[in-house]
Amino acid sequence: MFTYIVQRILQMIPVMFGVTLAVFLMLHMLPGDPAAIMAGEAANPEQVERMRERLGLNDPLPVQYLRFVGNALRGDLGTSIRTDRPVVDEIFEIRFQTTVQLALLATSVTVLLGLAIGILSAARKYSFVDIGLMFISLLGLSLPTFWLGILLIQFFSVRHNLLPIIGWGTPQQMIMPVLTLSVGGSAIIARMTRASLIEVLNQDYIRTAYAKGMTERVVIFRHALRNALIPVITVAGLQFGSLLAGAMISETIFAINGMGRLILDSVRAQDFPLAQGAILISALLFVFVNGVVDVTYRLLNKRIDMD
């Protein structure tokens, strides 16, 4: 197992290198002069040159990249143009914590709801319960996130005044954003769980378990579900990783100060050091989460190839 983890870590290194290179080049791929853009329209040539010196844009690209990676390894992602504060402080004081809370809650609800629907549908396959649950999951899969968020606001806040529209922190404020982000993922997990579980339930060892007199609940939860969880973990890991990168639409709709809204606001304000830092942190977290998913595969199924 230790060898498997080391192999996955080594495989992540070139991916992280590609991530840092892409984020670094993002600034240089912008049309025009990045220094002039960040200095503002009213800046004179001297101010633009000072901005260029401040950002180190006069150095060759390889030198700039090595400096960018070296500073990032020391925890220095630069200084925000808009607030003149370290980018790390801007990200980790409030925004990152909020996004982690949102991602954990949304992913937990997604997995629990999706598994419950998928298991019930598989256990009652081709029945009216199965057809009804799969129709509901298809409906949830078809709803765009932004439209679902607006519908929830209209119903729970505008019409019935039950929940606050914006903010994050209280349980009441968390309900609509978490539900908005969970519906689509739950529908995917429900359909994948149903398909995977039905396939596993047709295996010989499952029929042997039934022949030994085991109840349906014991067969499903003790024998079948573990082998059916592999595709579910994939979806859950991707959902959690993408939410750690920030749910821009939901955070904007509900005015949540998370990573997604931070990236959007920094791009709008042309605060590119802050945008670079936030995107880099989000991308590296996504790579890390995928590595954790690979290790989880190995824990659930020892037969997975370690090469």
Helix, strand, or coil (residue 266): helix
Predicted confidence (pLDDT) per residue in 138-182, tens digit:
888 888 888 899 999 999 999 988 999 888 888 999 999 999 989
- The pLDDT of residue 303 is above 60: no
The secondary element (H helix, E strand) that includes residue 240 is: helix 230-244
Q: What is the DSSP letter of 83?
A: T
- Interacting residues of 150 by C-beta distance below 8 A, sequence separation 6+: 253
pLDDT grade for 307, boundaries at 50, 70 and 90: very low
The domain limits of the chain are: 31-76, 91-300
Q: 91-300 belongs to which CATH class?
A: mainly alpha
Length of the chain: 307
User: What is the reported pTM?
Assistant: 0.80
For the packed helices 128-142 and 171-201, what is the interaxial angle rounded to 10 degrees? 130
Predicted confidence (pLDDT) per residue in 87-98, tens digit:
999 888 878 888
- The pLDDT of residue 300 is above 70: no
DSSP string, 92-142: IIIIHHHHHHHHHHHHHHHHHHHHHHHHHHHHTTTSHHHHHHHHHHHHHHH
Place of tokens 């200084």: 79
pLDDT grade for 32, boundaries at 50, 70 and 90: low
pLDDT grade for 246, boundaries at 50, 70 and 90: low
Q: Residue 31: how many CA atoms within 13 Å on its side-chain side?
A: 0
Residue type, 175: I
CB 23 within 8 A of CB 279: yes
Predicted confidence (pLDDT) per residue in 78-89, tens digit:
888 788 889 999
- The pLDDT of residue 222 is above 60: yes
Predicted confidence (pLDDT) per residue in 50-75, tens digit:
888 877 878 888 888 998 899 888 88
CB 116 within 8 A of CB 197: no
Phi, psi for residue 305 in degrees, rounded to 5: -60, 135
